[in-house]
Amino acid sequence: MLIDYNLLRSFVEVVHASSFSEAAKRRGITASAISHQIKTLEGQLGFPLFERVGRRSKPTQAAMGLLDKVAPEFRNIDDALHGTRTNRDDIRGRVRVGGPGPFYQFWLRPRIRKLLEHHPQLELEVAFGDAGLIEDQLLQGELDISLYFGHRESGALEKAQVYEEEIVAVASPDYFAQHGTPKTPEELREHAYLGNSLRMIGPWWGTLYGHLGPPPQRNRCDVEEVRETLALTKRGLGIAIVPTFALGDALETGELERVSLENAETSYRKPIWIAWRKGTDETARLQAVRKAFLDASVSAKR
Q: What is the DSSP letter of 203?
A: H
Residue 302 DSSP symbol: -
Which of 62, 89, 116 is the last residue in one of the domains?
Answer: 89
**Domain boundary, last residue among 36, 65, 89:** 89
* Same domain for 130 and 195: no
Rounding to the nearest 10 degrees, give the CA dihedral for residues 193, 195, 199, 203. Answer: -20
Co-location of 256 and 183 in the same domain: yes
Q: Provide the sign of the torsion angle of the four alpha carbons 290, 291, 297, 302, taken in this order.
A: negative
Per-residue confidence (pLDDT) for residue 34, from 0 to 100: 87
Average the pLDDT over 168-194 and give the result. Answer: 96
* Whether the predicted pLDDT of 78 surpasses 80: no
Q: For 143, phi and psi rounded to 5 degrees?
A: -125, 150
Co-location of 209 and 236 in the same domain? yes
Instruction: List the CATH number of the domain containing 128.
Output: 3.40.190.10
Lowest mean pLDDT among 1-5, 47-51, 52-56, 130-134: 1-5
- Residues 68, 148, single domain; the answer is no
In a domain, 213, yes or no: yes
Residues linked to residue 242 through DSSP beta bridges, in sequence order: 168
pTM over 0.85: no
Both 76 and 13 in one domain: the answer is yes
Residue 111 has pLDDT above 50, yes or no: yes
Task: Name the range with the highest mean pLDDT among 32-46, 172-186, 197-211, 215-229.
Answer: 172-186
251 and 104 in one domain? no
**Mean pLDDT calculated for residue range 126-147:** 88
- Cα(103)–Cα(91) distance, integer angstroms: 26
- Domain termination residue (choose one: 89, 115, 134): 89
- If asked whether residues 85 and 109 sit together in one domain, one would say no
Span 109-127, average pLDDT: 88
Q: Specify if 302 maps to a domain.
A: no
Render pLDDT for 245-287 as a digit per residue (tens, 0 to 9): 999 999 999 999 999 998 999 999 989 999 999 988 888 899 9
Contacts of 208-217 spanning 24+ positions with Cβ under 8 A: 208/264, 208/265, 208/266, 208/268, 209/185, 209/264, 212/185, 212/186, 213/189, 215/189, 216/188, 216/189, 216/190, 216/191
Q: Are residues 143 and 82 in the same domain?
A: no
Quote the pLDDT of residue 243.
Answer: 93
Q: Is residue 40 part of a domain?
A: yes
Residue 299 inside a domain? The answer is no
Within this chain, do residues 10 and 142 fall inside the same structural domain, yes or no?
A: no
Residue 301 lies in a domain: no
**Range 163-173 average pLDDT:** 95
* Number of domains comprising the chain: 3
Tell me what pLDDT residue 301 has: 46
Q: Higher confidence at residue 254 or residue 50?
A: 254
pLDDT value at position 230? 95
Same domain, 245 and 265: yes
Same domain? 150 vs 286: yes
Print the domain residue range for 175: 165-270
Report yes or no on 85 lying in a domain. Answer: yes
pLDDT mean over 62-91: 75
Residue 67 and residue 108 in one domain: no
